[in-house]
A and B are shown apart, each in its own frame.
Chain A
């Protein structure tokens, strides 16, 4: 590396990075660079989440594109000595690729990134989210300048032609939404960014706001110009302190640079944005509840048979879009509608960001072209299921989505296909489950979430989901009755038809899809009182296999309930009445002598 003039070191510094200790490694490396008088030669900065959360804390070196994973502060001396001073790679810090099983030096050779199309997330790896200059150098605010020279109609036309659809889940055509708001009577008009991301296991919007806040901001400003709005809001949950901090700084910097505020870039157009911090109610991600919350009312949905584009916030025409939708706008303005619509399928254009989590080797933030197969996401990008377990289901669309089984893995990821299969695109959460996951428990988990987050305003969601949850609980405890499955199906359909808002209207989806694809598992619980995945504690029993147990006494020592009897070197036994089914004996036994029946 001696022959390189300047080295750029990028630390992945999203919430995931910080949680894994990236900050201490970052400071240690900075310190070490200073000690070695390398400050002139090395530029070190903290970017947003670079996407490969499973490798955090991770760092990349440019122009060599070296990637080091799982760093600890003790590694920095070696990094400086070997990599920065001698230009050698530190073998032990390199990442072993899951596909090739080889140590990978360059980021470009990491299989995880190969099938991705990182249009929105690209800059997350290279820019300092706290510096507007970084964003500008990477081409930021070029789209705004271009847009201000166009007529609002031209902008809306480009967005319409691009085929961009709302990334919050419902997939409403963005250009059409803007057009309706533009044509609607009433002043002032409002622009809102929905950053109330609340699905379990979802962190896409958070990562974008943390890593590239200006891209979202630029999208909003362009829309405001096109629609004719002077006031915007971003509704972001208070549980995202880093996102709020980065976006606040971005707002300040944009104002200083005349991208925001009065007479933007010397034109007649003025627009500003306020940050509204949500209190954490999941239902506030629903558009009418979100608006009520901004207005200072209780965050509850209201009956809306008039579109928000006509009567939204304060009963004025309002455009509400998701974080990812906004971030797409500058790219479309810069590269054109044709470029955007060349990615994806016939009706779902562009890329989609997913947070890939659960029983998957490579957890992280991925961006893929619409139409990619679920199988490619799970195996080629996600690296399959850990521990050689069998894949069972993938849950898309969060608590409103559904669980899709193995036979759906060749479905293309687009709005229509996922809906047809009983799930939905949702806002981008993707949870992978393996053979150890009981589908009754999965349905119960999601329904517990929606039931808990139901605002309680309308009867079907408030009482209906509660009754459904009680039935599911009974099934998981071995108290399920003949006819419960049919009752659950009927109730699901009725709740979907009669609920006030989309939370209630989609809450039964996980139940419906798990019944649709895993009916036999429900039946085993009800008829045979057995949990095939052995997850429902009431339906399982731990047993020590007499012919395998060698009396190593380890289970005896570890059982917190003192439910195991037996002398060392003699066969042990479990007293079932005392056993709480915590599974510690199963985990500690080195001879597979503990079995679950």
Chain B
């Protein structure tokens, strides 16, 4: 166990915990944009910066990203110091210059009293903050690696290879789900599931019971290949699945008799 303090509150957590998680335990709010608990720490947006010091550092302190800094004994962490607020405001000023229309960024800017348009960037406004959540969820969790970062510096973008239609995307929509600014959208149009930015359109599979398209055939096939047999329940849309589950449970606790499922 590691003992230290955040905002003058003592805390003891398991070693290997990151500062962000520890702060959450104390109910301290630290804003995040590129962080997701299911993914590896990335530390790119820099909004979750906190100030750390130690008694032995003789007054010296530094800013670190709380999402990736592992807890240490005797660490003194400040999440709201003057230095932190100044840095956080700066990051928001930069992000609002990049994404002047994004509601997510606008709300955060409002919360931290950042005036919009402190800076101007002379390129097309976008809602993408390049947090990389979509890229990482697709690679780390879905393991399809449909998208990646291309170009560098201020030209950085998220794209499919050569910005062409992807032949590995299963339109699972995990990218859209994690996107903090809602740039990536999943659309079902005319029996097809579409993710516009990845130029991918796949036919929808129709629910065996109600006939509603609910998953792309490609995603269904992948699920069938990857999952241990779970019967034809996978071929039902979420609603029909729920109904069926209440009628005849998919699984039940060991020893429970039929009809009394969970």
Contacts and interface: CB of A to CB of B under 8 A. Distances in A.
A558 interface: no
B65 interface: yes
Nearest to B149: A298
Interface stretch (A16-24, A60-68, A430-438, A463-471): A463-471
B94 A497 contact: no
Contacts of A498: 46, 49, 63, 87, 90-91
B91 A455 contact: no
A467 B152 CA distance: 16
Contacts of B180: none
A457 B46 contact: no
Interface in B109-164: 119, 121-122, 129-130, 132, 148-149, 151-156
Contacts of B94: 459-460, 463-464, 467
Contacts of A497: 62-63, 83, 87
Interface residues on A, range: 20 to 34
B152 A303 contact: no
A459 B153 contact: no
Nearest to A499: B46
B42 interface: yes
B44 A494 contact: no
Contact of A459 (B64, B68, B95, B152): B95
Contact of B70 (A306, A451, A499): A306
Interface in B39-86: 41-47, 49, 62-65, 68-70, 83, 86
Interface in A458-512: 458-460, 462-467, 470, 491, 494, 497-500
Contacts of A494: 86-87, 90
Contact of A458 (B44, B98, B119, B154): B44
A302 B156 contact: no
A305 interface: yes
Contacts of B46: 458-460, 498-500
A473 B130 CA distance: 26
A303 B43 contact: yes
B43 A462 contact: no
B43 A456 contact: no
A467 B153 contact: no
B97 interface: yes
Interface in A418-462: 451-460, 462
A107 interface: no
Given A302-B42, A305-B64, 13 more contacts: A298-B148, A303-B68, A453-B152, A454-B153, A457-B156, A458-B44, A459-B45, A462-B153, A467-B94, A497-B62, A498-B49, A500-B43, A500-B44
14 contacts: A305-B69, A456-B153, A456-B154, A456-B155, A460-B94, A462-B130, A462-B154, A463-B98, A463-B119, A463-B154, A498-B46, A498-B63, A498-B91, A500-B46
Interface of A: 281, 283, 298, 300, 302-303, 305-306, 451-460, 462-467, 470, 491, 494, 497-500
